[in-house]
């Protein structure tokens, strides 16, 4: 297997599911409060949305497409920030940014997001291809602090892990309000905010599995599902005609930017 295998599921159109994936990750209370109470001011989504988004997408680009050396460099940079994320006696839940179990949950959400987005766009994999890509996707965790042996060995084991972890999903009022802020484009010019918020909420709700959608108190029905499915299939058909460089943007650009920063000795996050 080569990195081309993972490149197959790297689509710029997958950014449409970004907000849904953030919600899934933060639906685990220890992750949600770790982000909500973070001391790393420069990495806060609400305060620095562009920088925070760039860091997350750069991580995905490096994990999926980068070399081992680039993964090591990014892991070290992220660890500096994650060491500053830990609960206090006042925190409602205990957490640590260096907890590999929580990082495994985040990696599992990222993998699930890739799988769901690829399917929503109307693309298919053979069972063998799906297993190959799944096994290689352990890099979504091992590019952080997750040990390779923590990644479930196959897709069937992953589904058992996922089902078990769903029992720990809970979004309280504090985290729900934090996450609803992800759907509100407050930094856009005022005339654009309402239409962009409606579109973002629609697409995000469509990508959320029912368990997370219910926790966020977001409405959905069969009519919305049909509209969402048609929209995604149309985008998927259009993406098939795009050159690889266009289809993979912005991940290819962000990987180039990480390589440039490493060469120049500039901060990666």
| Domain spans of the chain, in order of start | 3-259
Q: What is the pLDDT of residues 104-127, one digit of tens each?
A: 999 999 999 999 999 999 998 889
What value does the CA radius of gyration of the chain take, rounded to a whole number of Å?
18
What torsion, rounded to 10 degrees, do the Cα atoms 175, 160, 119, 145 define? 60
Average confidence (pLDDT) over 17-27: 94
**Is residue 174 classed exposed, middle or buried when 0-12, 13-18 and 19+ CB atoms within 10 A define those classes?**
middle
Q: What is the pLDDT of residue 1?
A: 39
Q: Taking a C-beta distance cutoff of 8 angstroms, is the pair 207, 117 a contact?
A: yes
Average pLDDT, the chain: 90
pLDDT digits (tens, 9 = 90+) for 163-211: 999 999 999 999 999 999 888 877 777 888 888 889 999 999 999 999 9
- Which residues sit opposite 222 in a β-bridge? none
> What does residue 86 show for φ and ψ, rounded to 5 degrees?
-155, 155
The DSSP code for 96 is B
Question: Which pLDDT band holds residue 43 (cuts at 50, 70, 90)?
Answer: low
Rounded Cα distance between 216 and 91, Å, is 21
pTM of the model: 0.91
SS3 of residue 256 by DSSP:
helix
pLDDT score of 212 more than 50: yes
Q: How far apart are CA 230 and CA 228, in angstroms?
A: 5
CA–CA distance, 116 with 209 (Å, rounded to integer): 9
Does residue 4 surpass a pLDDT of 50? no
Maximum CA extent, the chain: 54
| pLDDT attached to residue 3 | 42
Weakest mean pLDDT among 10-24, 28-42, 44-58, 135-149? 44-58
In tens, the pLDDT along 242-260 reads: 888 898 999 999 999 999 9
Residue 50: predicted pLDDT? 67
């Amino acid at each position: 297997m080569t990195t081309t295998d993972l490149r197959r599921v790297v689509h710029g159109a997958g950014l449409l599911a970004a907000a849904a994936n953030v919600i899934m990750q933060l639906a685990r209370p220890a992750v949600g409060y770790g982000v909500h109470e973070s001391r790393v001011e420069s990495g806060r989504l609400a305060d620095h949305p562009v920088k925070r988004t760039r860091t997350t997408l750069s991580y995905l680009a490096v994990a999926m497409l980068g070399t081992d050396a680039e993964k090591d460099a990014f892991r070290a940079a992220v660890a500096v920030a994650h060491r500053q994320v830990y609960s206090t006696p006042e925190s409602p839940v205990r957490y640590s940014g260096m907890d590999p179990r929580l990082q495994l949950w985040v990696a599992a959400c990222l993998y699930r997001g890739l799988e769901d987005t690829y399917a929503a766009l109307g693309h298919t994999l053979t069972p063998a291809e799906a297993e190959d890509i799944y096994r290689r996707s352990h890099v979504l965790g091992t590019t952080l602090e997750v040990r390779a042996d923590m990644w479930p060995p196959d897709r069937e084991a992953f589904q058992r892990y996922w089902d078990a972890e769903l029992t720990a999903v809970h979004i309280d009022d504090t985290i729900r309000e934090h996450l609803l802020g992800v759907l509100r484009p407050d930094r856009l010019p005022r005339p654009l905010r309402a239409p962009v918020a409606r579109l973002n909420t629609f697409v995000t709700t469509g990508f959320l599995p029912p368990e997370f959608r219910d926790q966020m108190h977001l409405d959905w029905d069969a009519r919305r599902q049909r509209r969402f499915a048609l929209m995604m299939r149309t985008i998927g058909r259009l993406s098939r005609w795009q050159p690889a460089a266009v289809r993979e943007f912005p991940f290819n650009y962000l990987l180039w930017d990480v390589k440039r920063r490493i060469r120049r000795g500039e901060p990666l996050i």
